[in-house]
Amino acid sequence: MKFSELWLRTLVNPALDSAALSHLLTMAGLEVEALDPVAADFSGVVVGQVLSVAPHPDADRLRVCLVDAGTGSPLQIVCGAPNVSEGARVPCALAGARLPGFEIKKAKLRGVESQGMLCSARELGLAEQADGLLLLPNDAPVGSNIRDYLHLDDRLYTLKLTPNRSDCLSVAGVAREVAALTGSPLNLPRIEPAAVTGRLTRMVQVTAGQACPRYCGRVISQLNRAAQTPGWMIERLSRSGLRSISPVVDITNYVLLELGQPLHAFDLDKLAGDIQVRMATPGETLTLLNDQRATLEADMLVIADDNGAQALAGIMGGAATAVDENTSEIFLEAAYFSPGAIAGRARRLGLSTDSSHRFERGVDYAATRDALERATALILEICAGAASAITEITGDLPQRAPVMLRTARASKVLGVALSDAQVEVLLGRLCFDFQRDGAAYQVTPPSYRFDLNIEEDLIEELARLHGYDNIVAQAPVARLTMLPQPEQQRGVDALRTLLTARDYQEVITYSFVDAAWEADFAPGAQPVVLKNPIASQMGVMRSTLLGGLMDVLRNNLNRRQERVRIFESGRCYLPAAEGFDQPQRLAGLAYGSAMPEQWGSAARNVDFFDVKADLEALCWPQPARFEKSAHPALHPGQCAEMWLNGVHAGWLGTLHPRLTQQYDLATAPVVFELALPALLTRKLPRHGEISRFQSVRRDLAVIVDESAPVQALIDAMYAARIEGVAEITLFDVYRGKGIDSDKKSLAFRVLLQDTQKTFTDTEVDTAMAYFTDLLKQQFNAQLRS
C-alpha cells in the first residue's frame, strides 16, 4: 500500500513529524517498508513565465528567452529545450539556486549572458528522463516557490501489510488507524446520495448469490467527453503508483485508493441486455483490459450481458466494454465479492491486480453503496452528467458476532494493569460497538475488520493502542522444580556426541523430498503428497532419511570430498488412518576410505563391519543383535536388521548395486537407519563380584551347514544356562581344504569362571560335551577333529 503523506494528513493530521508517524505505524503492526521524499532536495526554483523567445546569435539549438520570475524585472535566460515557447509557464531556477548535483550561477553561454535556468523534470529530480521543460498549467502563479506549488515537500509511505489487515488497503483505513493511535480527529470524506436526475437504468440479475452477496450499480449519462482529470487527483494517483488514463477510470482508481472499494465502469452503449452476475461457463473466453485472452473455468465469477462475459469479477474488466474517449454513458458498479470466490483466480491466470488483492483479503461489505455514491459525486463534479437510481441486489452478507473481552484477562495476557475505564477509551478510539456484560464486554467488530474473531484478537488491539513500547518487560517469576531424569534414559544429544566421536558429521536436510527418492529408498511406502509444494523436486514428505543423506553425499562428491561420514536425526512422515505418523529416526552414511589418508595403516574402503562396530558402540552397554535380512534399497548379501532388547530397531547395509550405479557412485556407501526411541533407553551396567579364581578356556570347533547363522548357535549355547559359563565368542571361521563346499567350520571360545570355586576338568568336560550334543541336535553340527 503506497500513498502520499499530504493526502493522509487531509484526513487526519496528528502532531507528529514524518519519522515519528512512520515509527508509530510500524509499532502498531502496519510496517512502513519505505518512507521516500517525492522530489530531490533543491531550492531557489520558482514558477516563471516565458515572455519572449529569440534565436541565439551563435548557436542554432539555443534560444534566448526573457522570463518573468516574479523578481520585478525580466531575466535573460539561455535555453536549449525544444518545447520552450512564448507564454509557457515553467520552473525557473534563479541564480544561486541549488539543484540536485549542482548550483546555478550567472554565466555566459556562447557569448550571451544567462541569469538562471529553465528546468525539466529530470533536472529537478522528479523523473529519470525528460524530453523538454516541465510545462505548468497556465494559472500557475508566477514567482511562487515551485516546491509549494507542486506540493513537493511530501513523502511517500509504503506499507508492508499482513494479509489480515485488509482494512488498511486504503488511505481512509490508514487514517482510521492513525486517529485511533493518536486520538486526533478523523475527517473522512462526507458522502451523501447523489441527486437522481437520469432515467436510464439497467436491470441486474445475480445468480451466484454466495459469491456476490451485494451488488450495486447505476447508470450515469450525458458525460462531458472533453472533461479532464483535475491535477490534484492526478497527483495523488501518481504518488500512489497509478497513471492517469481518463476521468472516469481515474475516479474509480481514486475511490479504490481512498476507500478501499474496487469499482468498475462499463461503456453502457457496449452492453447488450441485463447485467448478469454468474459463474463462468467452462471454456468461456474473455479478452481483458490488458488484451490478455483468458479461458475461464467453472469456479470463476464473471459480470456478463447477453453477449457473454464482459468482466472477470473482482479482478479485471473486459476490453469489449471498456470506457474510452467516446464514452458518454456508463454503468458504474460496486460490489462485495466473497474472498473465497476471488482468491487464487487471478494467480491462475497469471494476473495480480489492485482489485483482486483487496477482494481476496476482504473489503467492507457495509460500505459498497457509499463507495458508489462517492464515485458518482466525483464523476458529476468533474464530468457533469445525470445519475440514475442505484440498482442494488443484497443476499446473505457476513455477520459480525459479538466477541467477549475481559479486562482481567487482557491485563494478565499483556502484563499491564488495565482498568475498565482505559479499556473503554481504547475501544472507543477504535470505533468499536461494545456493551458491558457483568465483568466482561461484548464487543461487536466493525464490518471492515474481518480479523477480529476471538478475545485474543481484541487483546492485541488494546496492546497496539496502548503501545508495545509502553509494555514494560518483566522477568518471569516461577517456582523451579527439578524433574526426575532416569539414568536409563538418554537424550538425542548423547547419540550425536557418540557419533561425532566416531568421526561422523551431523547434517540437516529438508523434510520435503523428491518423490523419486522415495521410490528408490522406500519403494514399499506411500509418501504423504504435498498439495502446494515449494518446488517441483520437493513434492512429498520423507518416509526415510536416506534420500537426504544421499543428496548430501552427491553434493560432497561434486566438490571433491572423497571421504564422507554423515548422520541425521529427524522425523519421517507416514500415512495413517487419521492424518500421518511422525516417527523419529537416526540415519547415517559412510563412504570412501575407512580411515583418513595416513602412513600408519593401509588404505581400504569402509565396509559393512566398520559401520556395524559404530552401531554396537552406539548401543553399549546393551548388546545389539544383527540378523541377515533383505531390504529393496540394500545389497542382498550385505544387509541386516538390528534388534535391541527384543525390539526391531532398524536396518544396516551396503547400498544396492543398482542404486550405486544409478547415482553414479564409484563405490557403494554403507548406510543405516534406526528408530530413535529404541536407542534412547539403555540398560545400566551392574556391579558384579570379581572372581578370585582363574578362568578356564576351552575351544569348541564344529562343522555346520553354510546357511547356519552364527548368532543362532551362540544364542542356543547361552540358552542352556550352564553354570559358570562367563563368555562364548566366535574367534574363527574356516572354509576350504578338508571342509565340504556347503559346510563351514566355526570355532568358539568358551570361558568358564566361578566366584566360589575353581572348575575341575570333569566339570569342564561335562559342560563342553553338553554344548557339543546341543549343537549336534539343533544344527546337525559335527565336532571338527
Strands 540-541 and 59-68, bridge-based pairing: unpaired
Q: Are strands 204-206 and 275-279 parallel, antiparallel or unpaired?
A: parallel
CB 752 within 8 A of CB 695: yes
Residue closest to 371 by CA, chosen among 170, 629, 600: 170
**Residue 544 and residue 550: Cα distance in Å, rounded?**
11
User: Omega into 621 within 30° of 0, i.e. cis?
Assistant: yes
Q: Give the residues across from 435 on adjacent strands.
A: 442
Which triple of cell numbers denotes residue 296?
475461464
Q: How crowded is residue 52: how many other Cβ atoms within 10 Å of its Cβ?
A: 12
In three-state secondary structure terms, 280 is coil
Round to whole Å and give the CA distance between 636 and 658.
Answer: 11
**Residue 687: all three cell numbers together:** 556391579
CB 119 within 8 A of CB 5: no
CB atoms within 10 A of CB 663: 16
Q: Report whether 297 belongs to an annotated binding site.
A: no
Residue 685, number of CB atoms within 10 A of its CB: 9
Determine if residue 754 is labeled as part of a ligand binding site.
no
H/E segment holding residue 237: helix 231-239
The answer to whether 372 touches 380, Cβ cutoff 8 Å, is: no
Residue 487 CB-density burial (10 A; 0-12 exposed, 13-18 middle, 19+ buried): exposed
- Say if CB 266 and CB 292 are below 8 A apart: no
Buried/exposed 585-620: b ≥16 CB within 10 Å, e otherwise: bbbbbbbbbbeeeeeeeeeebbebebbbebbeebbe
d(CA 31, CA 160): 5
123 is annotated as contributing to ligand binding: no
Phi, psi of 247 (to 5 degrees): -55, -45
Q: Which amino acid is it at 67?
A: V
Please identify which residue in the block is written with the cell numbers 571361521.
Answer: 733
Residue 441 pairs in a beta bridge with 405, 436
b/e for 76-112, b at 16 or more Cβ within 10 A? Answer: ebbbebeebeeebbbbbbbbebebeeeebeeeebeeb
User: Hey, which bits of 69-154 come out as E strands?
Assistant: 75-79, 89-99, 102-103, 107-109, 112-114, 116-118
CA distances from 110 to 61, 74, 87 (A): 11, 21, 25
288 in Cβ contact with 272 (< 8 Å):
no
Contacts of 753 (CB under 8 A, 6+ apart): 691, 693, 694, 695, 696, 724, 726, 759
∠ CA 93-98-99 to the nearest 5 degrees?
Answer: 75
How many Cβ atoms from other residues are within 10 Å of residue 459's Cβ?
A: 19
**Cα separations (Å) of 613 from 607, 625, 713, 762?**
10, 12, 21, 38
**Residue 177 in marked binding region:** no
The alpha carbon of 24 is separated from its chain's Cα centroid by a whole number of angstroms, namely 25
Show binding-site residues for Mg(2+). 451, 457, 460-461
Show binding-site residues. 451, 457, 460-461
